[in-house]
Structure 1
Amino acid sequence: MQLPPLQAAKLIKRYKRFLTDIELPHGEVITIHCANTGAMTGCGEKEDIVWYSDSGSTTRKYPHSWEITQLKNGQLVCINTHRSNQLVFEALQNKQIKELAEYDQILPEVKYGEENSRIDFLLKGEGLPDCYVEVKSITLVKNNIGMFPDAVTTRGQKHLRELLAMKKQGHRAVVLFAGLHNGFDCFKIADYVDPEYDRLLKEVTAQGVEAYAYAGEFDISQGIPTALRLTHAVNWIE
């Protein structure tokens, strides 16, 4: 997935969920949009480097958007949650997710289920069961372990129930944890954050719902992040 042209600044603070103040290299402070409503645990502390894009819009109140944080240890994390589905869509098109590579048709944002949900991707292929794929972003990393979630997610719990219902109807159902952080080499559910999500995931996978976690890698050109792609499945630890 190609990233938009990015510029660097220094993080001052994030507030009101959607707003972030940054300091530009020449000292000017501006406010940019933050397209992430989550806890963003470990995704940016004061004076971390913020890589931001410029929409060029003359009508948006905040035309710049926070895309990536470069942490003090040099690791990168994409905090723009809109990018996760773009990342997975490209990986599906390129057959990079081996467990799903046999499907040829990719339908995004399809309504389904009994709890007013939309599946991120419905995959279809001749002679294959329909496959419902729910995407979750890995942005929380501790000790080289990628984790999800970073806050209690009742929405995520609902998605697991919906996926199980699809599995019981004879379809494939998959939750795909996509790496938006390049600092992990294995994955686990953050049960200390949301024990109910952990319990539900174990329950639904025992009944046939599939779960995979994939690492993410950034391309860098002249010190600037230019692209993000999924690379390989990582080991799952309890």
Structure 2
Amino acid sequence: MITYPNVHLAHFIDRPNRFIAECRLQKTGEMVTVHVKNTGRCKELFYPEVEVALTYQPSPKRKTDYDLIAVKKGTDWFNIDSQVPNALAAKAIKDGIITLPDLNGKIVSVKREKRFAHSKFDILVETDTGKQAFVEVKGMTLENHSLGAFPDAPTLRGLKHVTELIEAMKEGYQSYVLFVVQFEKIELATIHTDMQPALAQMILSGQKQGLSVIAYNCSVTPDTIAIEHQVPFDVTKMFEDPNSER
């Protein structure tokens, strides 16, 4: 579990650009400019007056004193911190909460940010059989009718990562894509094919060659996020974008 310090509830007002938002603190009514810890669109989450969670992190080196970390959608909290999935995944793999299917051997080390070709993969796992496996972690915040999808905007970086994970397998590595679903109520995870057809095609091609794609959901409160359990992933499941009319 990751716990955020100094969390304040607020209401979202506006998002002038992808880096900042204007919010109103619930306790005082003060208007504050906050850093949004996710550069994705998140249009289905950010409605005027929606409840949000801010962590107060003042520093002379910062332009804003608050970070926006979570949004309430209906009765459920969605964590949108794009930096948290990697930390959650690394610890959960070490602790055995996340299991890597068909991994050759028992895990003896979990290392962060290891280079291969033109990519820097999030995690390198080493086993007692001498096998190495790359794990590329992607946060998932897009949801519609309990179906989660990635991405919410085209990602050339994500496509490159999947392509090079496939190349790594040809050199003897095992390769995994791990989606950390940053909300709890989900029945199935998929790729948002209409948003990025090439990514869906590459995922499907990779799976046929031995690429493992797995997803785990999270329990989320305004100030915490924790890995819960594995959820099914099906790249062929079509996703209806809730933002298509916005």
**TM-score, with structure 2 as normaliser:** 0.89
**What residue in structure 1 maps to residue 126 of structure 2?**
124
Counterpart in the other structure of 2:185: 183
Tell me what 1:10 maps to. 11
How many residues are paired up?
A: 230
> Equivalent residue for 1:229?
226
The correspondence of residues 159-238 of structure 1 with structure 2, limited to 5 A, is 159-218=161-220, 220=221, 225-237=222-234, 238=237
State how far apart, in whole Å, the 2-side matches of 1:157 and 1:167 are: 16
Cα offsets for 1:74-127 (capped at 9, x unmatched): 1111111011111112211211112268312111011112xx210100011221
Query: Given the alignment, which residue of 103, 112, 117 partners 2:107?
Result: 103
Moved over 6 A (4+): none
1:93 aligns with 2:94: yes
- Contact 2:111–2:125, Cα closer than 8 Å, also in 1: yes
Using the aligned pairs only, state the percent identity.
Answer: 27
Q: In the alignment, residue 206 of structure 2 is paired with which amino acid?
A: V
- Segments of structure 2 that go 5 or more residues without pairing to the other structure are 238-246
CA RMSD of aligned residues (A): 1.5
Amino acid at match of 2:129: G
TM-score normalized by the length of structure 1: 0.91
Counterpart contact for 2:214–2:232, Cα < 8 Å: no
* Aligned residues of 1:133 and 1:176 also touching (Cα < 8 A): yes
Equivalent-residue separation in structure 1 for 2:130 and 2:151 (angstroms): 31
Measured after TM superposition, the shift of residue 181 of structure 1 is 1.6
**Aligned partner of residue 69 in structure 1, secondary structure:** strand
Q: State the match for 1:69 in structure 2.
A: 71
Deviates more, 1:179-188 or 1:6-15: 179-188
Measure the CA separation in 1 of the matches of 2:60 and 2:15. 23
CA displacement 1:161-187 (0-9 Å, x = unmatched): 110011011110000011112231211
Q: 168-177 or 122-131: which moved more?
A: 122-131
